[in-house]
Amino acid sequence: MQTIGILLPRSTYYETMGFELYEGLRSGLKQLGHEDIRIVSENIGFGADKQQCYRSAEKLLLEDNASVVIAYIGHRTAQLLRPLFLAANRMLIVLDAGANMPTEWPECPNILYHSLHNALGAWLAAKRAVADGCKTGGMVTGYYDGGYLHTMGIYSGFINAGGTITFNHATGYKAEEFSMLPLKEQLEKDPGFALLTIFSAEFAEWYFAAIRDLFGEENDLNIYLPPYMFEETMLEKAPYPGNNAKGIAAWSRSLDTAENKIFTETIRETGKALTLFTLLGWEGSRIISKVLELAAANKNNISQINAGLRSFEFTGPRGLVRVHPEKNTTISPMYNATIAKSENGTCRVEIGSVIADPIADFDEMSKLPLEGVTSSWFNSYVCI
């Protein structure tokens, strides 16, 4: 029996995140017929303790003899684990929120990134704002969500598409410090202004509530959102923010495809929530299955496994997932989406057209100059 390892994170705001990642992986492997695979998990907290991540990965490789390890970690932590996986001659599959933009895209053959691409979605949402006629705009975020380089994605997407940033608002991360009042004066002066918004979890709920309270439920503010703001378990609790909230979604339960139906029905039967994290775990099972197939065919030769992955693609719940031909990362479909009002006055997602060429958009965004970028944060996005 083969063993695979999974490094599971904690999250204050998404408390069941680790369970959902695990269940998505377990159910996905079972659906593929891999019931003979043993899954061993290690908790890595918020992913910010470098030594804990290293020790947990080392245990999975040495004590549990994991054939492959899958982990919800960021690029910086993955690079710290690179020497360990090179020495062990094993593959690391990184499940990534995509909230950061690496200063370089690493070419380590032992690491493959599978992402929700929040930065790319932010980039595309900002470009959509300009295409919709918004000439001026500003980024609206907070202390935590604003600490990642998806802010660079939404800012640069707007500027590069021809928009002008005239105002930015960063709010506190405590309820008593969370205010959208500065937006009122700005929008009175410039009603065509685009709110280029980045929040997650309950911060997104607070934001929607503040917009509704300040401007009324039927406002027509130009609100543009990245993928994490289309997370449906959050939207089910969030008040409807107005008639013109839109952006880019990575996935929705309502996508009308055979693969999404299999995924949603399978996860519902387990009693676990259908979230972006169960999605990531499920899709990760497809990648692991291919890695194990390539490892068997190539006698664990990592270079040959990596070469085989470069042409790998699969159809998952969000559509056709491909490995980028030059970078060790997958590229998945992204969708134009809008926030609609549910029957009880909260939010739901309406999926529109699919983005035509996400690889070309990814390549354009990944060429952005990131000189002088520094950070002391190692935790993954939403892991606080």
Task: Return the number of other C-beta atoms located less than 10 Å from residue 233's C-beta.
Answer: 16
In DSSP notation, 265-287 reads HHHHHHT----HHHHHHHHHHHH
The total of other beta-carbon atoms located within 10 Å of residue 133's CB is 9
Residue 1's pLDDT is 87
- 8-state DSSP, 174: S
CB atoms near residue 330 (< 10 Å) = 24
Residue 47 has what pLDDT?
Answer: 86
Q: Which residues of 24-48 are buried (b: 16+ CB within 10 A; e: fewer)?
A: bbbbbbeeeebeebebebbebebbb
- The fold of 120-249+334-366 is Rossmann fold (3.40.50)
Select from 328, 316, 375 the least CA-distant residue to 150.
375
Helices and strands, number each (H, E), in the chain: 12, 16
pLDDT of residue 173: 86
Q: Which CATH class is domain 3-117+255-331?
A: alpha beta
Segments making up each domain of the chain, as ranges: 3-117+255-331, 120-249+334-366
Q: pLDDT at position 378, please? A: 82
Q: Give the C-alpha distances (Å, rounded to integers) separating 315 from 225, 248, 275, 321.
A: 25, 20, 18, 6
Beta bridge partners of 239: 346
Instruction: Please tell me the predicted confidence (pLDDT) of residue 64.
Output: 97
Residue matched to tokens 């969708």 = 335
pLDDT < 50 stretches in the chain: none
Token pair recorded at residue 107? 């070419």
Spatial separation of the C-alpha atoms in residues 364 and 375, rounded to whole Å: 23
Q: Are 253 and 264 in contact (CB under 8 A)?
A: yes
Distances from the Cα of 348 to the Cαs of 159, 223, 237, 319, in angstroms? 29, 15, 10, 20
CA separation, residue 78 to residues 53, 138, 270, 284, 359 (Å): 9, 32, 30, 16, 23
- The tokens of 241 are what? 């923010």
The Cα 236–Cα 275 span in angstroms is: 12
Q: State both tokens at 48.
A: 């910010």
Given a contact cutoff of 8 angstroms between Cβ atoms, the answer to whether 160 and 258 are in contact is no
pLDDT confidence of residue 315: 98
Nearest CA to 195 among 118, 128, 129, 119?
129
Q: Do domains 3-117+255-331 and 120-249+334-366 have the same CATH topology?
A: yes
d(CA 52, CA 56): 6
pTM listed for this prediction: 0.96
Helix (H, G, I), strand (E, B) or coil at 344: coil
Q: How many residues does the chain have?
A: 384
